[in-house]
Structure 1
Amino acid sequence: MLQRWRAVGLLAMALFAVNVLARLVIRFGFDGDDTAADRVSLVMFVVIGLILAAVAFRWGRDRPVARWAGDLAAAVGVALTLTVFVAPLLVGENPFGGGAGLFFAQIWLYLAATAAGVLVGYLILTALGLDHRSQQLKRYAQLKAAKPRRVVRR
C-alpha cells in the first residue's frame, strides 16, 4: 500500500515540477513576451500529457482500470492544487493576480491536458491489446482451449 501511494506522490511531484520549471522559464527567459510565454505553456501542457500517457500505458498493462484511474486522479488532483496555489508563489506571483478568469482557465486547461494524455495512453494500450482486461481474456481463452473436452456418458 505504501508503494502505491509513493508512486502517486512521485507522479504528482513530477507534474508539479514540470509546471514550476515552465513558470521559471517564462519568468526569467521571456518576462515581457506573451507569445513566447504562451508557447512555453503549450509545451508544458504537452509534456504533462505525454507523462500521463506514458504512465497510463505502463500502469494499464498490469492493473485494472479502476485501480490505476483512481491513482491517476489522485495524483492529478494533488498536482493541480499545487500548480494553482503554490507554483505562482514560488515564482513571486499572486495565485489570484490575473483574476478569476485566468485562475479558472488554468484549472480547465490543466484538466484538459491531463485527460487528453491519459486518454491517448489508454487508447493506444487498448488498441494494441496490451491492457489488463485484454490480457485476462487472452489467458482465459488459452486456458479453455488447452483443456480437452470431457466426454459425457449418457
Structure 2
Amino acid sequence: MRQRRWFPPLALAVGLFAINVVARLIIRLGFDGNDAASGRASIIMFAVIGLTMAVWTFLACQRKRPSDWLLPDLVVGAIAALLLTVLVGPFISGGEPFKDGAGDFFAQIWLYAGFAIVGTLLGYWLAVLLGRDYRSRALKAFAERSKSKPRKVVRR
C-alpha cells in the first residue's frame, strides 16, 4: 500500500491534520477561555506544521527529483491538510469555520500557508546545504564515475 501513488500525499495530509486536531483539543480542554494561551498554542501548532514540512521535504528530496515529489506529493498533501484544518478543524474545537468572520478564516489560511512554505524551503535548503538532495548526489556520482574511467582516445 505504501508504494501506491496516493499514499504519500494522503499520509502527509493526515499527519498535518492530526497536529491540528491535537492542538485544538489542547486549546479546548486546557485553555478554553484564555485567548492569549490559545493564541500561543496556535502559533506553536503552526510551527510544528512548518517543522513537519521541513522534515518531510528534507527526506523526500533525497530520494526523488523535485518534479516527482514537490507538486504531486507535497502540494496536494499540504492543500488537503489546509482544507481539512480550516473547514473541519473548527468543529473539533466546538466552533464553525466562519464563526469569527472571514478575517479569522483567511488569517488561518495565510498563517498555515506561510509556515508550510517556509518549512518546505528550510528543509530543501538544508538538504542542498548538506549536499544530500537528489541533484547534488547525482552530480557527485557523475564526478566520481568520470574520474575513475580513463579518457578514451579516438584515432581516425
TM-score (norm 2): 0.94
Amino acid at match of 2:76: A
Q: Name the residue aligned to 2:28.
A: 27
Q: Name the residue aligned to 1:85.
A: 87
Q: Name the residue aligned to 1:112.
A: 114
CA distance in 2, matches of 1:54, 1:92: 31
Q: Name the residue aligned to 2:4.
A: 3
1:5-154 equivalence runs, <5 A? 5-70=6-71, 71-153=73-155
Amino acid at match of 1:133: R
Amino acid at match of 1:19: N
Q: Structure 1: any 5+ residue segments left out of the alignment?
A: none
Q: Structure 2: any 5+ residue segments left out of the alignment?
A: none
TM-score (norm 1): 0.95
CA distance in 2, matches of 1:151, 1:13: 57
Deviates more, 1:102-111 or 1:20-29: 20-29
| TM-aligned CA deviation for residue 94 of structure 1 | 0.9
Could you say what secondary structure the match of 1:32 adopts?
coil
| TM-aligned CA deviation for residue 2 of structure 1 | 5.0
| TM-aligned CA deviation for residue 91 of structure 1 | 2.3
Could you say what secondary structure the match of 2:6 adopts?
helix
Q: Number of paired residues? A: 154
Deviates more, 1:144-153 or 1:125-134: 144-153
